[in-house]
């Protein structure tokens, strides 16, 4: 593609002590694209997102380059990367259980408020538009939401910060099939909003369906990559990750 990538990772290796979790990985995400990284448990998917965000556990050591909008960010602390528009929604969703849905959403805009943006709440109505269920439950404590609603809240809170690059760690994990469908529908709806999405999933079928491009990660290394539609037709991807359809 002729468009400059919004994210460009090259030669990324991560080790935890003696264990090398990622080896010489290179991936790109173009502006407005949805890119997925699929692969089995332990392949290094979460490690990749945490390294891109600068949020590895202290036992993890990364080397290699992470360029975000033409800037090398690999040495920046996580708050600086957030301020530049990078956002990670971790697998554990990390909501404030005793706070209301609405207050959790408002926290997502906190950085923009602090940065002096006057319209820092401008995403509240669009987020409620994407997630009418959150609007219905705006006064309810986050801790009382269902698993699917919590994932919606985690996504909605991330969107309140108006990120340019949204990184989602297993958004479908532990959710019932109908909710998974809803979550993926929303992810694909984000394509029109200008945010680029890097999606980590074990649900390879759903991930490839909404993605422009895909990478297959196996034991810390790229095994395959290609346009998502092509990967979904690749016999080895079908056999290993999509099951017999």
Residues at the site binding ligand ATP, with contacts judged by CB under 6 A: 16, 19, 21, 39, 41-47, 57, 59-60, 202
Nearest CB to ligand ATP, comparing residues 164 and 219 = 219
Compute how many other C-beta atoms are within 10 angstroms of the C-beta atom of residue 123: 22
Sign, CA dihedral 115-117-120-122, equals negative
CB of 187 to ligand ATP, least distance (A): 18
Instruction: Write down the H helix ranges in 37-100.
Output: 45-53, 78-83
CB of 130 to ligand ATP, least distance (A): 26
| Strand 71-72 to 19-29 pairing | unpaired
Nearest CB to ligand ATP, comparing residues 74 and 164 = 74
Nearest CB to ligand ATP, comparing residues 202 and 209 = 202
CB of 99 to ligand ATP, least distance (A): 27
d(CA 177, CA 20): 34
CB of 42 to ligand ATP, least distance (A): 4
Nearest CB to ligand ATP, comparing residues 42 and 147 = 42
Quick one: the chain helix, strand, coil %, rounded to 5?
40, 25, 35
CB neighbour list of residue 65: distance below 8 Å, 6 or more residues apart: 8, 9, 10, 11, 12, 72, 74
């Amino acid at each position: 593609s002729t468009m400059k990538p919004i994210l460009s990772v090259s030669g990324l290796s991560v080790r935890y002590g003696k264990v090398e979790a990622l080896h010489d990985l290179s991936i790109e995400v173009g502006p407005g694209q949805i890119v997925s990284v699929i692969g089995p448990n332990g392949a290094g998917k979460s490690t990749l997102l945490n390294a891109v965000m600068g949020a590895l556990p202290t036992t993890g050591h990364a080397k290699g380059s992470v360029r975000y909008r033409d800037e090398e960010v690999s040495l920046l602390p996580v708050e600086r990367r957030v301020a530049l528009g990078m956002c990670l929604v971790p697998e554990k969703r990390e909501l404030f259980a005793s706070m209301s849905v609405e207050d959790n959403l408002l926290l997502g805009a906190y950085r923009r408020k602090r940065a002096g943006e006057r319209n820092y709440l401008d995403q509240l109505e669009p987020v409620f538009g994407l997630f009418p269920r959150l609007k219905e439950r705006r006064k309810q404590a986050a801790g009382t939401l269902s698993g699917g609603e919590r994932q919606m809240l985690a996504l909605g809170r991330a969107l309140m910060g108006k990120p340019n690059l949204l990184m989602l760690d297993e958004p479908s994990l532990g959710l019932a099939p109908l909710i998974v469908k809803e979550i993926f529908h929303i992810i694909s709806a984000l394509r029109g909003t200008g945010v680029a999405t890097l999606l980590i999933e074990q649900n390879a079928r759903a991930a490839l369906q909404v993605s422009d491009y895909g990478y297959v990660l196996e034991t810390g290394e790229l095994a395959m990559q290609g346009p998502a539609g092509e990967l979904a037709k690749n016999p080895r991807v079908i056999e290993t990750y999509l099951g017999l359809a």
